[in-house]
Structure formats: structure tokens, C-alpha cells
Amino acid sequence: MILLTERLLLRPTRRDDLTALHAVMSRPQAMRYWSTPEHETLAETEAYLEATLTAAAQRLSDEFLIEFDGRVIGKAGAWRLPEIGFILHPDFWRKGLADEALRAVIPHLFARHDMDALTAGIDPRNTASWRLLHRLGFVESHRATHTMQWREEWCDSVYFALSRAAYSSR
């Protein structure tokens, strides 16, 4: 499945995306609020890519790589249904591209999957993602402390949900 927006092409991940995906996931700024630190080796990204492809084959996920002007700049979608996630290369931040990608992905996910809501979890310090989720209609559902260890630091999480009913009424 391919999704098109005004500026983006969203498509499934392929094995030959390794180098492009590594260009995003090796960036410390991009990975600061991800579940792991930046990938220092291509082998780390390759393992991640294989896990992504396996999850897609098992229909546990429904994600898209984001292409802008023919270049892979990130990914967006349900990395584990119904939880969404997104990441962009820092060179493409503050251009509305994550918003544009998710505005295509969200209706796709609700149309394709029988679920009552989409969910998302973020580090509360990630204000850009927080604002994006609010713009998309997600509401805070709960918080938890010390949910993830990022290097030596324990991080908290804020969880959000977008119900099918709330999305349909927008």
C-alpha cells in the first residue's frame, strides 16, 4: 500500500532501505526520544530493519517510510498496532512533514484495522511530538514514571489515545 500527500510518498519498508533508514536512525537528535539511542553501526539498523519487516509480515504493524523529493526522511505508522510512532531526520523538522504524514496514516489505520483507538507514548520532554499529537486529536490518557532506560537515564512516559469515535466526529 502506498499513500500520497501533497509533498510526501509513504510506502512500505524494503530491505534495500537499510542505508536510508540508517541515515535517520544514526542521528542523535532524531533518536533522543526514541526507545533506543542512535544506531552507531549499520548492523544495528539492519537488525531493526529485519524486526520491522518481520512485524509487517506477521501483521503486527502497519508502518510507512516517508519519502520527500525521492529521499527517505523518516517513518510513521503503527509500529505495533494500535500504537503509532514517527521519526524524521532532523534536517526535515519544523516543515509540517510529520503532521502531513500522520494525517494520511491515521485514516488508513482506522480504515484497515478493527480497533477502538490509536495510542501513542512519548517522553514528556518531547514537546514537538506532544503538540503534534494534540493537533491530530489525541488526548492524554495517563502517565508513568521510569518506563524506559535510555543509556543511563530513566525516562518517564505520557500516553495518548485517539478514539475511532473522536476521529470520526472531526
Contact 49, 17 (CB under 8 A): yes
Q: Which residues pair with 63 in a beta bridge?
A: 77
Contact 161, 141 (CB under 8 A): yes
Q: What is the pLDDT of residue 85?
A: 95
Task: Check whether 142 has a pLDDT greater than 80.
Answer: yes
- Sole residue written with cell 534495500: 16
User: What class is the 3-168 domain?
Assistant: alpha beta
pLDDT band for 148, please (50, 70, 90 cuts): confident
Q: What is the pLDDT of residue 149?
A: 78
Rounded to 10 degrees, the C-alpha dihedral 146/121/9/62 comes to 100
Which helix (H) or strand (E) element contains residue 10?
A: strand 8-11
Q: What is the pLDDT of residue 8?
A: 98
Summarize pLDDT for 64-73 with one digit per residue, the tens.
999 999 999 9
pLDDT band for 138, please (50, 70, 90 cuts): very high
Q: What percent of the chain is modeled with pLDDT above 90?
A: 84
Q: Over range 34-48, report the average pLDDT.
A: 93
Contact 120, 84 (CB under 8 A): yes
Distance of CA 131 to the CA centre of its chain: 15
Task: Check whether 150 has a pLDDT greater than 80.
Answer: no
Q: Over range 88-110, report the average pLDDT.
A: 97
pLDDT band for 147, please (50, 70, 90 cuts): confident
pLDDT band for 118, please (50, 70, 90 cuts): very high
Task: Check whether 123 has a pLDDT greater than 80.
Answer: yes
Q: Over range 97-120, report the average pLDDT.
A: 97
pLDDT band for 34, please (50, 70, 90 cuts): confident
Domain residue spans of the chain: 3-168
By C-alpha distance, which of 101, 98, 54 is closest to 80? 54
Strands 153-163 and 117-122: antiparallel
DSSP code of 47? H
